Structure 1
């Protein structure tokens, strides 16, 4: 096993030279990616409509191709999902990554091409390991199994008889891993891709608890649920009694800060390491490359061309858009990408703040819209407004104001929830029914929230506080923010606003 570990470590470290190359010459790397994307896009329907054959410079590209959000690019994606090829990319599309929806759709579907799978998502996984073993030469990462907590797959909803499939990006990646990688992971692929989460967690617990698990990769939410179940079955005090060689948790999708204390309780070891990744449905964008810093290295040779919108211009009719070389440290930018998955000038909805430009490192600073994504549920304001409006209509009440934020996992086994403060014009006669309707409709319109709520596995029912009349106005007044331009934040991914309001209610 020691020989295998040393050999595999040596193989992965061979990538270090290429990583150093794009770190030291980022702009030439991005220029090459740009040209390769334009060349691939010329023969596509999208490329012909936007005259890619006439594009010689970035300025041509920015002039001829507008910015797109999901609603804008969705008609092209729908054509691909119905089986038409050559629409957004010049090779066949057989997979779609599913994530939480937009205003008009319960779910988003992002094309995953062979190029984006191989040269972006897979490369990200390999580089994650490369950077880890480079930073920790004493690692025994290849001496045991990697526990992967993924999503599930489904039929293509627009062409269920076709061969193309859809699913969480983790499931798409897992399903397409090479055979050697399948041997290095646990649980079985069949179990990892199960749809029903309660059965899945149970089966995963029994399949993995007797393996030599050395690393875990997944979203903190489901990882906590699984670890707690394993501790119950094994009657263990902490997870190192089950997996004594566990050394690292590769995590992403949600902010890790609120979970760190809980993980330290479940895995009480100063030798345990945590490494953040930024892998979304649209692409693999960043990795934590330094052992003692939570900054992420921007990955520049992954078939993704980056542009950025300064957030102080976000609401402009024609916002300023800049290239990588023009970003400044400390400023917030909305991320715009063109990719080898067939996305063109696509606004992913995330915002970043650069901490360094040599090399380009950043932190995820938020979303372009208010949201809650503490458990991987990706609830956006439109979701919340639709759900609360539905509950109000069904119960015959009206809403004056509301806000919501996460209630995190507790150290004593408590599960997470969404905590709401709602000011009614007239209180519902039956608050329990109002809460049930709110929860029910949110599950209907957001598939990720629904998955986390399934049988209370990760999220329990919403906690609702009824606000006294004028609470929100008083709060805004105390903050000096009364006035037409100042609004109550509907959703927040942290508890700052909610806790301030709760104090005023006491």
Structure 2
């Protein structure tokens, strides 16, 4: 065992004691966080506008600070972007994480000197928790690769601007820099296909032990590696590869294909990072769910998903949530986001400690007929049947077809790229439809009442989603294909790829 792996075990024990101090006292940690956030921002423009000096508790906070999305906060954020200090948070942010929103165009998410260390600490602690639980630290002595966006940063009014993963690349601890791949020059390549080719060239003969990235782009890397090595599996290319770290999407739709590419099952850590803050990570290899980071400079609120679009939805603090209910996640952060709707929905699967599953996006649903089908439901329906039938899915998305051919009932149209297709697509489709009916009573009623006909699956050609994302200028990086949408925009774009 190397020096790094030995020291990492000692460090992991030290860090785990700190985590334990808030893990089972998360509600108290959240109350302290709220008080600290209000105290530190009371002299900002936002704090003055919302009477932070008069806020004594969460009830006061809810009465003064409404829920907002990026567009609602834009007037404040634009002043921050123009270099004004003390607008949303004290002083000016250190960075802006630049993201592309589906409705807001380019978004600039502030990252402060207080919030940036929390991103780094959470990523580190996810690995240390794994080391502490499993006793396995050998990956620390080998090479690690993080498939991420370009680290090239621009600057405006003294604030550095870039993608979150690119910003984080500059802050990787020194003791990991020598192990980390790819090179800075390769990381700066903007074209994703060129970048993957370059990464393959750099890593093919290295001792890769940890690989991290969004599953569909990691799969693309694996495919290129296999192609370059004459069809070898990843376990034969990287004999000491033992840990896969991922986030951004549900891993389950990709698991079968990725494990087939690797050639064996492998330990994995799921993380939930966002530009707005690092929210949760998987802290156990034996228990489900992601540990909500209750002591990371963020105060969380939860709105029942079915109330989200109400004029005055219920707002709950951590101590008020219930198991197995779908909530829209609201953030208040030490970078100055207040009552901020991040757009994700989560469900608690444990309250001691508080553990969540990410269930989808609040705006990604199908309710063309009042069914309100969500991402978690379509993923469960497809994957439960696929696992039973030995079918493998590369990628998929779902859209409503409200204007079918004459005399035909409307239906949900599924666009699926199979890596191992079903032998009988019609029978497979019917099973998926029945599985969805069991998950969503409204959908069941619409089928039973002959308002909708059962779903239809369109089989897509190989690499359909990669080619579609490339055509949209969204190949690689943090870009993801929405699982479902309430309009036909993605569906129309995928028509050309139907087999």
Q: For residues 274 and 28 of structure 1, do their structure 2 counterparts lie closer, same or farther at Cα, with a shift above 3 Å needed?
A: same
* Residue correspondence of structure 1 range 83-102 to structure 2 within 5 A: 83-102=83-102
State the secondary structure of the residue aligned to 1:111: strand
Which residue pairs with 2:372 in the alignment? none
Give the Cα–Cα distance (whole angstroms) in 2 for the partners of residues 2 and 205 of structure 1. Answer: 26
Cα distance in 2 between the residues matched to 1:113 and 1:194: 27
Task: Give the match's secondary structure for 2:115.
Answer: helix
Q: Quote the Cα distance in structure 1 between the aligned partners of 2:10 and 2:471.
A: 39
Q: Which residue of 2 aligns with 1:326?
A: 320
After superposition, the Cα gap between the structure-2 partners of 1:379 and 1:99, relative to the gap in structure 1 and judged at 3 Å, is: farther
Determine the C-alpha separation between the residues in 2 that align with 1:255 and 1:493: 19
Cα deviation for residue 179 of structure 1 reads 2.6
Residue 128 of structure 2 corresponds to: 130
SS in 2 for 1:33: helix
Tell me, in whole angstroms, the C-alpha distance in 2 between the residues paired with 1:88 and 1:232: 49
Note closer, same or farther for the CA distance 1:189–1:329 as it changes in structure 2 (3 Å cut).
same
Cα separation, 2, equivalents of 1:313 and 1:259: 31
Change (3 A) 1:192 1:401: farther
Contact 1:259 1:409 in 2 (8 A): no
Query: What is aligned with 2:419?
Result: 410
Task: Name the residue aligned to 1:180.
Answer: 175
TM superposition shift of 1:25: 0.9
Question: Which residue does 2:497 correspond to in 1?
Answer: none
CA 1:8–1:290: 2 relative to 1, 3 Å:
closer
Question: Aligned ranges for residues 430-449 of structure 1 at < 5 Å?
Answer: none
Q: 1:201 aligns with which of 196, 200, 215?
A: 196
Aligned counterpart, 1:106: 105
- State whether residues 289 and 296 of structure 1, in contact with CA within 8 Å, keep that contact through their aligned partners in structure 2: yes
> SS of the residue aligned with 2:475?
helix
- Cα deviation, residue 448, structure 1: 11
**CA distance, structure 2, for counterparts of residue 492 and residue 29 of structure 1:** 43
| Cα deviations by residue, 1:1-47 (Å, 9 ceiling, x for unpaired) | 52321112221331101211212111111111111111111121111
Q: Which whole-Å CA distance do the structure 2 matches of 1:231 and 1:308 have between them?
A: 44
Aligned twin of 2:29: 29
Point out where structure 1 has 5 or more consecutive residues left out of the alignment. Answer: 386-399, 413-438, 463-487, 499-506
Query: Are 1:490 and 2:457 an aligned pair?
Result: no
Equivalent of 1:451 in 469, 474, 478: 474
Partner SS, residue 310 of structure 2: coil
Deviation for aligned residue 1:192: 2.0
Q: Which residue of 2 aligns with 1:390?
A: none
Q: Does residue 1:9 correspond to 2:9, yes or no?
A: yes
Q: What is aligned with 1:210?
A: 205
C-alpha deviation, 1:332, in angstroms: 1.0
State the partner residue of 2:356.
Answer: 362
- Whether 2:230 is the aligned partner of 1:231: answer no
The alignment status of 1:298 with 2:292, answered yes or no, reads yes
Tell me, yes or no, if the aligned pair for 1:378 and 1:449 is still in contact at 8 Å.
Answer: no
CA contact (8 A) 1:147 1:215 kept: yes
Between 32-41 and 83-92, report the one with greater CA deviation. 83-92
Counterparts of 1:333 and 1:184, CA distance in 2: 39
* Alpha-carbon offset, residue 161 of structure 1: 5.3
What is residue 389 of structure 2 aligned with on the other side? Answer: none
Structure-2 residue corresponding to 1:467: none
Q: Secondary structure at the match of 2:114?
A: helix
Distance 1:357 1:115 in 2: 28
The alpha-carbon distance between structure 1 residues 331 and 230, as it changes in their structure 2 partners (threshold 3 A), is same
**Any residues of structure 2 matched to 1:41-80 within 5 Å, and which?**
41-80=41-80
Count of aligned positions: 413
Cα offset, 1:411, TM superposition? 5.7
What is the CA deviation profile of residues 397-436 of structure 1, one whole-angstrom value per residue up to 9, with x for unaligned ones?
A: xxx9896655346269xxxxxxxxxxxxxxxxxxxxxxxx
Could you tell me whether the CA contact under 8 Å between 2:94 and 2:160 is conserved in 1?
yes
Match of 1:257 among 252, 255, 258: 252
Q: Does structure 1 retain, via aligned residues, the 8 Å contact 2:83–2:92?
A: no
Per mean C-alpha deviation after superposition, the further-off stretch among 238-247 and 108-117 is: 108-117
Distance in 2, Cα, partners of 1:321 & 1:233? 53
Query: For residues 271 and 480 of structure 2, what CA distance do their matches in structure 1 show?
Result: 23
Structure 1 residues 352 and 252, CA gap change in structure 2 (3 angstroms): same
Cα gap change, 1:166 to 1:297, in 2 (>3 Å): same
- The secondary structure found in structure 1 opposite 2:313 is coil
Pair 22,221 (structure 1): closer, same or farther in 2 beyond 3 Å: same
Q: How far apart are 1:108 and its partner, in Å?
A: 2.1
- Contact map agreement 2:143 2:180 (CA 8 A) in 1: yes
1:169 aligned residue: 164
Q: Cα distance 1:180–1:138, how it changes in 2: closer, same or farther (>3 A)? A: closer
Give the TM-score of the pair, scaled to structure 1. 0.74
Distance 1:221 1:165, change over 3 A: farther
- Name the SS for the 1:207 alignment partner: helix
User: Which of 263, 272, 277 is the aligned partner of 1:278?
Assistant: 272
CA distance in 1 between counterparts of 2:139 and 2:275 reads 26
SS at match of 1:227: helix
Match of 1:142 among 140, 143, 148: 140
Structure 2 portions without partners, runs of 5+: 366-374, 380-392, 402-408, 422-464, 495-499
CA pair 251-404 structure 1, distance change in 2 beyond 3 A: farther
Equivalent residue, structure 2, for 1:118: 117
d(CA) in 2 for partners of 1:218 and 1:339? 25
